[in-house]
Amino acid sequence: MIIVGLGNPGNKYDNTRHNVGFMALDYLQSNNLGPDFSSNKYNKSLESSISLGGGTLQLVKPQTFMNLSGESLIRLKKTTPPSKILVVYDDFDLEIGSMRIRQKGSAGSHNGMKSIISILGTTEFPRLRIGIRPKHPIKGAASFVLGKFQSDELEIINKVYPCIEESISLILNGKLEEACQKFNKKNLLT
């Protein structure tokens, strides 16, 4: 299975809300003692691999900007069916501390997902959305998602990563519905 974490490349985007997909893959790689991410120029990505849930996962962080994320899957889709590609990304419509797993669906307003759907030619692939919306009102969603996490937000996100890891392990073992039932909650931390 391939896990694609979405984000924007470059140090200026480190720890931004839009890069929580990259951050989740960094957690998976570090927590499962995977090799360092290395550049794959053919896939326009940084890649690593880990063993999890009795299987091997290829971790892919596209190094195009968000709206071209699908370009990293052009070669990979030749050997991997969309049903075996799980995309992990931020969702402004979900409150921070929550996540949603789906077997398929639209891109909504997420440009990275629009690109991936365009390249794969289908909406029939699993996705895991990580909530980033704060409990307080904000002005300007675009600037908010490109802003860096505050320290209290990072504490919450760090507590969500083990749930992401467990849900991916379940999905890898053919238990997507069980992962949905267990983790598609309003807030994972309550």
Nearest-angstrom CA–CA distance, 177 and 163: 15
Distant-in-sequence, close-in-space partners of 32: CB < 8 Å, separation ≥ 6: 50, 51, 52, 165
Can you give the pLDDT at residue 9?
96
Torsions phi, psi for 121 (to 5 deg) = 75, 20
Q: Is residue 147's pLDDT more than 90?
A: no
Instruction: Establish if 16 belongs to a structural domain.
Output: yes
The answer to whether the CB of 92 falls within 8 A of the CB of 141 is yes
Nearest-angstrom CA–CA distance, 118 and 80: 16
Nearest-angstrom CA–CA distance, 37 and 60: 9
pLDDT confidence bin for 137, thresholds 50/70/90: confident
Instruction: Establish if 190 belongs to a structural domain.
Output: no
Instruction: Establish if 92 belongs to a structural domain.
Output: yes
Nearest-angstrom CA–CA distance, 32 and 68: 28
Look up the pTM and report it: 0.94
User: What CATH number is attached to the domain comprising 31?
Assistant: 3.40.50.1470
Domain of 83? Answer: 2-183
The answer to whether the CB of 140 falls within 8 A of the CB of 100 is no
The domain tally of the chain equals 1
Instruction: Establish if 188 belongs to a structural domain.
Output: no
- Rounded average pLDDT over 122-144: 87
Catalytic positions: 18
* Strand-strand pairing, 127-133 and 2-5: unpaired
Q: Is residue 1's pLDDT more than 90?
A: yes
pLDDT-wise least confident of 83-87, 173-177, 185-189: 185-189
The pLDDT tens digits for 34-79 are: 999 999 999 999 999 999 988 899 999 999 999 999 999 999 999 9
Instruction: Establish if 138 belongs to a structural domain.
Output: yes
The answer to whether the CB of 73 falls within 8 A of the CB of 120 is yes
